[in-house]
Each structure stands twice: as structure tokens, then as C-alpha cells.
Structure 1
């Protein structure tokens, strides 16, 4: 059975292309998966994967072994299946912004559904979701703000870099000499695309980089980072976005970086949970999976 466990782990890592993703699928910790792969490599006397910042790549020996054992190991999946659930599956209620949930949270947590968990998502703005968490309506909130709320404690997931971007047609209207001397003034004529009425993201960027609140007119307000990017690409205005959201458009040339800083502005993505009561085992599994997967998010 031990050898079969090693081969099953090999297949999951081979298919996922990542130790962390395979660990989530198997319901194991990342170190445990790494230890199993190392043990199998030691027994066989050959490396099966090469490691990189983006995951793992199978060696020719790893590819050959995976191809040889895939069919018989897949037929034996029922041996490793969890016992049948005799009662209703436990549901974990998760809140977050629609863009973050779609891009990061769902891919990280979806494997847990094959292990007997149900996930129910509530989408919205952080302040509303944190209020629901405090009232017991949610179990976990993924939040880009860390607002002090009675009965809630926070755990940082990852620091995200923010960039200021605009369509090329707007970028060409900026006086570059003035931008170097007075960036806020050089950008003041540009309309903004805002995430919310409080200008929460662009306001944070302006204050951290220029020392003041933006005085720019607001053209569009849309509470979804993908919608913000779409509006920026369309030339409706400029905005500050997490680099992982803006990077594809930057690479395609549909938006440009409007401002560069010696110290990149960052914001921490947090996990929020209730402090007054212990988390359920199912909620702990959700938290652990998000923490593990967040280690890879900086390379997405």
C-alpha cells in the first residue's frame, strides 16, 4: 500500500504540474507530498521532476513512469477514496470580491469539493462582507482591506503589487517632464476608473506615491477588477490595479504603465475569520488550502 500511495502522489504531481496543487487535490500538506516524491526518487535512483519557481517539470523518467502506472493506479482509486459521507456534507461560506474569487480563490479550493466539502460563495465589497462575517453569516472572507471589526481577526495571505495603467491614447496626453517633477499634477487631467465610490484602490495608490488624495474626475465605478481593466483598455480612464490583473494587458500593449516608483506600492490580501469561536475542521481545511496556494500566486 505504501508503494501505491507513492505512485498516486507521483500521478497527482505529474498531472497538476505543481507540488502545492497536488497537495490540495490529495488533501495533504505540501511538505508531505514533497517527502513522498523524494522517497520515490530515492527508491528508483533517478530524479522524476525538476523544481522551478512556477512548479515542477517531469524528467523523461518521470514522464515514462507516469505513463506506465496511470491506468492501473486510476483503476485503484476506490481503494484510496474517502469513506462515504453518511450525513450532509459540511458547507463553508466564503466571501470575497468577484474578481479575486474567480481568479484565485475558486481554483485553490475547488479540489476540496471532491473530499466531501461544499463551498458557498458570497460576492461583494469588503466592508459588507466583513459585517456579514461578524454577524455569523459567513465563515471566511478574503479581503483586500483590514478594517478593525469587533470579533474578527486577520491573517495575511500575500502582498500584491499595484500598478497605475491607462490606454496608450491617454498615456500620450501626459507631460513627461511634469510627470517627473509633479506626478499628481501631470496626471490630474485624466479621468479615473474606480472600484468603489470611496476610490479605495486609486486613493491608496495616490496617497502612497504622491502624498495626497486624487483630484481627478471619476468616469466609471465598477466593483470588479476585471471590469476596471476593461474600462481602462477601452480608454474610459486610468486606474491602479494589482499587477497580476494588469500584466496580460501590459504585455499585449492595450494599456501602458503611467507611473514608475522606486518602491512598488503593495497591498496585503487577507483572510478574515471570527475570533470569538474556534473554526470548524472544514473551515480550517479551507484556510490551509488558501495559505498553501497563496505561495504560488506571486508567479501567476
Structure 2
């Protein structure tokens, strides 16, 4: 049995939407037509592609393999047809969202060549959970997330790991018993002010648990909801903080700030590139996605 292009297009829609009914609505087909096309494709491949569930369709391992091969060409063909008939999704900017610090210091400089070549992008800043919810609601084309996405309509690709470091200004570090910190723990720091981007000290508490195996109950002296502001406060000797190394690489290199301890295994956090499965992607998304994966190796 020869495979028809329409079957493959229908397969991509069902895979991304997780539903025969939603795929039929998106494609303008009846649900029996979608079911018939998927069955024909399964018969041609000799493998089951979806497990039918009461409220959707779960892709099989064979479907996971097939989507990697066919979604790119199907998207390119769809975009070519859209352009030919005057419905060009590239007429709108590509919408990208992520944390303000990484986006402004690494992502935007990394895509300057794409912008100069004519790519149009609109950026939004925010916290990961909110941005991922809005991605599922079709508000964004791409989200750079500090947490691994879990939604059925979202697919995630690891981008880069960020490493965290406990830092103080060189002046303040000179007043601390750093030779005792590794062996005696953070109690030797006394009541030195803590600088955090949130009242709950999420990064610092995780660092304390990972490096010192201690819980942290001290409230922050300064709460600055932008890590660049926290870095500025550390440089001015206002206190200590835990910051990602990509953000303070220059200050560490020139001695403006100093790491207080160098653990054998520093805490890491992974950034993800999150995109939605639910609708055809913007024609520039594949280019941006690959470009960021390539550039990210130089960031950390």
C-alpha cells in the first residue's frame, strides 16, 4: 500500500494535539475520516501509532520515531502552501518568552544575526509556570523555561545547564573566615546579609541543601526581583548571594566578586526550549530553535 501525503499530515496533527477529534477540527475533516487515514497509515507501516484512550490518543514508540522524520517536511510544505495562497504566518513576529536575565544577557545577543537577516521577534519576560501556561494557550511560539514542561501540548528540548555560585564582593569576602566554610559549614558566615530575588530564597535554599546539607531559615535582607540587581548589590558589598555563573562571569574574572566556596559538584539547573504541539509552528521557529541550541554551548 502506498502512503498518501494526506495521511502523514493527519498523523502530525493527531500527534501534536493528542486527539482525533481536535485533529479533525483543525484539518476540517470528519472524525471518521481522520480515523480512517490513521488506520491506513498504520496498515502501511505495519505498526500501531496511537493507543486510543477515552479522552485522547497516546502516541506509541513508533509514532515518536515517525514524528521526528516527517514533521519538518510537512511543516515546510504547509508553509509553502500558505505563502502561495497569501496566508503567510511569517507576516507576524515570532513570539518568544523567558526569564529576563538569561534572555537579555544571552538570548537576545545570540539572535542579533537572525534579526539583521530579517527575522522579526517579540520578547516577553516572566516566570516559567506562567509562561508555560500561556504557551499552551497559544500566546507564544517558544518559551525558554527554567522548569521542565509537563503539559501534553508542550514539547521540551534541553538547552543548557546553568551553574550556581555563592559570591560576595572581594572586600566583603576578605572579612569572612572562608578557610573554615567548607569544613564547618555556613554557620561561620554569621548574620551576614542575604540577597535574594524572592522572599522564599528559592535559589539560595537549594544551594544550602545541595552544598551544605542544611536548611536555610534566615530571611533575606534584600529582595530584588531581578538577578542583575542582586549582582549589583553583591558588588557593592551589601551582602552575599547565590547567582548563576553566566550572569557574573565577567565580575568573577576581573575579581569584582569572589566565590566563597568551590564545591566538588556545584548545583545545576537546566533551561529548556519549550514549544507547543497544538498548532503548526511559525515558519522561523525551526531556524531559531536550532540557532539557540548551537549558541547556548558558548554561554555557560
TM bracket (short chain): 0.5 to 0.7
Which runs of structure 2 are paired with 1:236-275 in the superposition (5 Å)? Answer: 236-275=238-277
Using a 3 Å threshold, how does the CA distance of structure 1 residues 247 and 147 change in structure 2: closer, same or farther? Answer: same
SS state at 2:261 partner: coil
Whole-Å separation in 2 of the counterparts to 1:210 and 1:117: 46
* Cross-structure match for 2:120: 118
* Cross-structure match for 2:188: 186
Matched, 1:227 2:234: no
- Give the total of aligned pairs: 214
* Cross-structure match for 2:210: 208
Which runs of structure 2 are paired with 1:23-34 in the superposition (5 Å)? Answer: none
Matched-pair contact (CA < 8 Å) for 2:101–2:247: no
Higher alpha-carbon Rg: 2
- Give the TM-score taking structure 1 as reference length: 0.64
Structure 1 residue runs of 4+, over 6 Å off?
none
* Cross-structure match for 1:175: 177
Matched-pair contact (CA < 8 Å) for 2:94–2:282: no
* Cross-structure match for 2:292: 290
Matched-pair contact (CA < 8 Å) for 1:206–1:212: yes
* Cross-structure match for 1:164: 166
Which runs of structure 2 are paired with 1:29-68 in the superposition (5 Å)? Answer: none
User: Deviations along 1:9-67, whole A, 9 cap, x unmatched?
Assistant: xxxxxxxxxxxxxxxxxxxxxxxxxxxxxxxxxxxxxxxxxxxxxxxxxxxxxxxxxxx
Aligned CA RMSD, in angstroms, stands at 2.4
How many Å apart are 1:121 and its aligned residue? 0.3
Whole-Å separation in 2 of the counterparts to 1:278 and 1:93: 14
Unaligned residue ranges in structure 2 (runs of 5+): 1-85
Whole-Å separation in 2 of the counterparts to 1:215 and 1:174: 20
Unaligned residue ranges in structure 1 (runs of 5+): 1-85
Matched-pair contact (CA < 8 Å) for 2:149–2:155: no
Using a 3 Å threshold, how does the CA distance of structure 1 residues 147 and 288 change in structure 2: closer, same or farther? Answer: closer
SS state at 2:176 partner: coil
User: Deviations along 1:142-186, whole A, 9 cap, x unmatched?
Assistant: 122225345323211112222110123432443345413332322
Whole-Å separation in 1 of the counterparts to 2:229 and 2:210: 24
Matched-pair contact (CA < 8 Å) for 1:190–1:217: no
User: Deviations along 1:216-241, whole A, 9 cap, x unmatched?
Assistant: 33122223222111011112221111
Matched-pair contact (CA < 8 Å) for 1:190–1:216: no
How many Å apart are 1:188 and its aligned residue? 5.2
Using a 3 Å threshold, how does the CA distance of structure 1 residues 208 and 93 change in structure 2: closer, same or farther? Answer: same
SS state at 2:109 partner: helix
* Cross-structure match for 2:92: 90
Whole-Å separation in 1 of the counterparts to 2:120 and 2:112: 9
Using a 3 Å threshold, how does the CA distance of structure 1 residues 224 and 107 change in structure 2: closer, same or farther? Answer: same
Whole-Å separation in 1 of the counterparts to 2:206 and 2:275: 24
Is the deviation greater in 263-272 or in 110-119? 110-119
Matched-pair contact (CA < 8 Å) for 1:188–1:215: no
- Give the TM-score taking structure 2 as reference length: 0.64
Which runs of structure 2 are paired with 1:63-82 in the superposition (5 Å)? Answer: none
Matched-pair contact (CA < 8 Å) for 2:164–2:245: yes
Matched-pair contact (CA < 8 Å) for 1:164–1:239: yes
Using a 3 Å threshold, how does the CA distance of structure 1 residues 157 and 108 change in structure 2: closer, same or farther? Answer: same
